[in-house]
A = this chain, B = another copy of it.
Amino acid sequence: MEKNSGLLKSAPIGVFDSGVGGLTVVREIMRQIPNERIIYFGDTARVPYGSKSKETVIRYSEQIVRFLQTFQVKTIVVACNTASAYALDTLEKNIEIPIIGVVKPGAKAAAEVTRNGKIGVIATEATIGSQIYTEYIKELNRDVTIYGKACPLFVPLVEEGLLQDPVTDEIARRYLAELIDIDIDTLILGCTHYPLIRSTLGRIMGEKVTLVNPAYETALELKEMLRAQELLNDEPPALGSNQYQFFVSDKAEKFVRFANSIIKYGILSAKAINMEEY
């Protein structure tokens, strides 16, 4: 990746996801690089991407990138595991600005952190089926074994707000039982919703298992990349400059309710836009 050619440090970062999950990535970016402006797009009308074909996910991602570029973003974060798996390579080839996904940073952290070479990945059925984490981790370290486990109920449980709840505990115990039996020492939270039930997952897996949060690792990689490219914003945005802006493709109300429950930076608003125009 070459140094930036004419990009502005003060330009915003574009972040997108198929829905609300990418907000956990936004939250990490807010924490780690608080001077940055963010334009978030959640494709809430077309969620979930997991059940769609690769071609469709690429087409949707390209539309969203065109939308984000209308804000002259200096970089784009694909805060969605499915879009990272299916569309990142194509997007990279076709745009001039740096772009990063959530899968590689998560895979890298897991490959570095494991001691016994047994890594678990929990994610949606689509992400597990794509074998994308296995592929990236194997590129970094051929001597590890990756155990994937699809956890389809976690997303609806999180979206229903059952973050600390006996039902979520019970479901998590069932999903994680085989990973505990296998004696993994590292667990990748391979879906952007899962950091919201991190404490439940950590309690069930026990202290000896390291949880890898790709949202955290992605924000870290983003920070390093912006620094290397001399694109980190040195100063906080001016007061009243709308530092964080949120857009969705479906009705905004439900999104705003969910967003306010996980991002504690004051009241957010969101705007619904028509993706057919991009």
Q: Which A residues form the contact surface with B (CB < 8 A)?
A: 44-45, 47, 51-53, 56, 152-153, 155-157, 159-160, 166-167, 170-171, 250
A160 touching B152 in the complex, CB below 8 Å, given contacts A45-B51, A51-B250: yes
Q: How far is the CA of A250 from the CA of B126 in the complex (A)?
A: 12
Q: Closest CB-CB distance, A231 to chain B, in whole Å?
A: 36
Q: How far is the CB of A251 from the nearest CB of chain B, in Å?
A: 9
State how many angstroms separate the Cβ of A43 from the closest Cβ of chain B.
Answer: 11
Across-interface contacts of A170 in B (CB, < 8 A): 166-167
Q: Are A156 and B152 in contact (CB under 8 A)?
A: yes
Q: Are the CB atoms of A167 and B159 closer together than 8 Å?
A: no
In the complex, what residues of B have CB within 8 A of residue A166's CB? Answer: 170
Question: Does A167 contact B160, Cβ atoms closer than 8 Å?
Answer: no
In the complex, which residues of chain B have a beta carbon less than 8 angstroms from the beta carbon of A44? 51
Cα separation A56 to B44 with both chains bound (whole Å): 14
Partner of A171, one of B52, B167, B250: B167
What chain B residues lie within 8 Å of A152 (beta carbons)? Answer: 156, 159-160
Q: Which 4 A-B pairs have the closest CB atoms?
A: A156-B156, A153-B156, A153-B160, A167-B167
**Closest CB-CB distance, A29 to chain B, in whole Å?**
26
Q: When chains A and B are docked, how far (Å) is the Cα of A51 from the Cα of B47?
A: 9
Tell me the nearest residue of chain B to A157, going by C-beta.
Answer: B153
Bound Cα distance A117, B167 (Å): 34
Nearest residue, chain B, Cβ from A51:
B250
Q: How far is the CA of A152 from the CA of B161 in the complex (A)?
A: 11
Closest to A276 in B: B56
Min CB distance A121 to B, Å, is: 19
Neighbouring B residues of A56 by C-beta, 8 Å: 45
Q: Known contacts A45-B53, A156-B156; can you find 7 more A-B pairs with CB under 8 A?
A: A45-B56, A47-B51, A152-B160, A153-B160, A167-B167, A167-B170, A167-B171
Kindly state the separation between the CA atoms of A159 and B51 in the bound complex, as whole angstroms.
14
Docked pose: A166 CA to B171 CA in angstroms:
11
**For the complex, what is the distance from the CA of A64 to the CA of B56, rounded to whole Å?**
19
Q: What's the Cα separation between A96 and B119 when bound, in Å?
A: 58
> Of all chain B residues, which has the CB nearest A47?
B51
